[in-house]
Amino acid sequence: MKSLATLQQGFITLEELEFYLEGARLSDQASQCIKAVDPLTTGWLSRGALLNFYQANLRALDRGVRITRIFVTTREELADPEVQKVLLTQYRDDIEMRIAFRNELPTAVDIGGVDTNSTFDFAIYDDRAVTDVFGQSSKYYGRKTCQPVEVAKYLYIFELLEHSSHAVTQENDRIVLASDVLELAS
């Protein structure tokens, strides 16, 4: 029944491998921008499907596609050396990165009734298609939609998260919040 309801809302359900293949395909088709929100995990540099997805992101960058990625994490996780490797790699690859801390994210009330069952793990391609990971475990890993109403909801969530996020910079082979560097300089 859940799958049927998902299909009626204009979403296609995807298993994990299908999800990352679809993300790679959409990255390869993107011509303007990719806006992504991802939990900050260390698998970016080692998990096969995720690595292939990231390589598709790099091909998009080579074509001039602008990629903005908001990583959702905690202040403690930000200090982890493995997490820093992921951040440095993406920063050096010219992905525009921001950090959003879980305890600073907008609540469901702030988002104005938009479905917040999201894991804050989604991507928007050229403001026309969305892939989103399911928050609860199920037979399927994620979903995809091109329905304008649904895409608009994700764009709205992305804007709210972007507003709650922090710009980053590189300092001594570490990614730090740009605001922390400004504080130290003053």
- Is 3.30.870.10 the CATH number for 2-185? yes
pLDDT score of 93 more than 80:
yes
CA–CA distance, 40 with 90 (Å, rounded to integer): 12
Q: Is the dihedral of CA 145, 148, 153, 156 positive or negative?
A: positive
pTM of whole model > 0.85?
yes
CA–CA distance, 153 with 161 (Å, rounded to integer): 12
Over residues 54-84, the pLDDT tens digits come to 999 999 999 999 999 999 999 999 999 999 9
Q: For the chain, what is the mean pLDDT?
A: 86
Grade residue 109 by pLDDT with cuts at 50, 70 and 90.
Answer: very low
Q: Report residue 127: phi and psi, to 5°.
A: 55, 25
